[in-house]
Chain A
Amino acid sequence: MAFLSYLISGLGLGSVYAIIALGYSMVYGIAKMLNFAHGDIIMAGAYAAFFAMTAAGMPLLAAALISMVICTLLGVTIERLAYKPLRQASSLSVLITAIGVSYFLQNASQLMFGSDTKIFPSVLSGSFSLFNGRLSVSYLSVLTIVICVVIMSVLTLFINKTKTGKAMRACSEDKGAAVLMGINVDAIISITFAIGSGLAAIAAILLCATYPSVYPTLGSMPGIRAFTAAVFGGIGSIPGAFLGGLMLGIIETLAKAYISTQLSDAIVFAVLIIVLLIRPTGLLGKKVSVKV
Chain B
Amino acid sequence: MNVIKNLFSPKKRSRTISLLIVIIAYAILQIMSSTHNISRLLMSLLVPVCAYITAAIGLNLNVGFSGELNLGQAGFMSIGAFTSVIIAGIFNANGIEGIPVLIVCIICGSIMAALIGWLISVPVLKLQGDYLAIVTLAFGQIIMSLINNLYVGLDANGLHFAFVTNNMTLAEGGRMLISGPMGATGVRTVSTLTAGAVLVIIALLIAYNLIDSKSGRAITAARDNRIAAESIGISISKTKTLAFVVSASLGGAAGALYALNYSSFVAAKFDFNSSILLLVYVVLGGLGNMSGTIISTALLVVLPEMLRFLQSYRMLIYAIVLIAIMLISNNETLKTKAEQFRNKLGASKRKGAE
User: In the complex, is A directly touching B at CB under 8 Å?
Assistant: yes
Interface residues of A (CB under 8 A from B): 28, 34, 36, 82, 85-86, 88-89, 92-93, 95-97, 99-101, 103-104, 106-108, 110-111, 224, 227-228, 231, 235, 260, 262-263, 265-266, 269-270, 272-273, 276-277, 280-282, 288, 290, 292
Complex contacts, B146 vs chain A, CB 8 Å: 263, 266
Q: Classify chain B's interface size.
A: 35 or more
* B123 contacts partner chain A, Cβ-Cβ < 8 Å: yes
B276 (CB) vs chain A CBs: closest residue: A99
User: Is the CB–CB distance between A100 and B139 below 8 Å?
Assistant: no
* B135 contacts partner chain A, Cβ-Cβ < 8 Å: yes
User: Is the CB–CB distance between B69 and A92 below 8 Å?
Assistant: yes
Bound together, the chains give a CA A92 to CA B283 distance in angstroms of 7
In the assembled complex, the CB of B334 is this many whole angstroms from the nearest CB of chain A, namely 11
User: Is the CB–CB distance between B319 and A107 below 8 Å?
Assistant: yes
In the assembled complex, the CB of B245 is this many whole angstroms from the nearest CB of chain A, namely 18
Complex contacts, B276 vs chain A, CB 8 Å: 36, 99
Pairs of residues from A and B, 7 with the lowest C-beta to C-beta distance, nearest first: A100-B322, A103-B319, A269-B138, A104-B319, A266-B145, A100-B323, A89-B330
Bound together, the chains give a CA A270 to CA B123 distance in angstroms of 11
CB contacts between A and B, total, < 8 Å: 129
User: Is the CB–CB distance between A273 and B323 below 8 Å?
Assistant: no
Bound together, the chains give a CA A265 to CA B268 distance in angstroms of 13
In addition to A228-B134, A228-B138, A272-B135, 17 A-B residue pairs with Cβ atoms within 8 Å of each other are: A88-B332, A92-B63, A92-B69, A97-B322, A99-B280, A107-B318, A107-B319, A262-B149, A263-B149, A263-B164, A265-B144, A269-B145, A270-B142, A272-B138, A276-B123, A281-B131, A288-B128
User: Is the CB–CB distance between B145 and A265 below 8 Å?
Assistant: yes
User: Is the CB–CB distance between B332 and A280 below 8 Å?
Assistant: no
B148 (CB) vs chain A CBs: closest residue: A262
Complex contacts, A88 vs chain B, CB 8 Å: 330, 332
A273 interface neighbour in B135, B316, B318, B330, Cβ under 8 Å? B135
Bound together, the chains give a CA A260 to CA B141 distance in angstroms of 16
User: Is the CB–CB distance between B130 and A231 below 8 Å?
Assistant: yes
Bound together, the chains give a CA A280 to CA B268 distance in angstroms of 29
User: Is the CB–CB distance between A108 and B134 below 8 Å?
Assistant: no
In the assembled complex, the CB of A279 is this many whole angstroms from the nearest CB of chain B, namely 10
Chain B 56-85 against A: per-residue CB contact (8 Å), 1 yes, 0 no?
000000010000010000000000000000
B330 interface neighbour in A93, A101, A227, A288, Cβ under 8 Å? A93
In the assembled complex, the CB of B177 is this many whole angstroms from the nearest CB of chain A, namely 19
B316 interface neighbour in A28, A97, A104, Cβ under 8 Å? A104
Complex contacts, A95 vs chain B, CB 8 Å: 69, 279, 283
What are some 8 contacts across the A-B interface (CB < 8 A)? A93-B329, A95-B69, A95-B283, A99-B280, A231-B131, A272-B138, A276-B127, A292-B227
* B9 contacts partner chain A, Cβ-Cβ < 8 Å: no
B315 (CB) vs chain A CBs: closest residue: A107
Complex contacts, A108 vs chain B, CB 8 Å: 316
In the assembled complex, the CB of A210 is this many whole angstroms from the nearest CB of chain B, namely 22
Select the residue from A34, A85, A100, A228 with max chain B CB neighbours within 10 A.
Answer: A100
In the assembled complex, the CB of A143 is this many whole angstroms from the nearest CB of chain B, namely 30
Bound together, the chains give a CA A107 to CA B327 distance in angstroms of 20
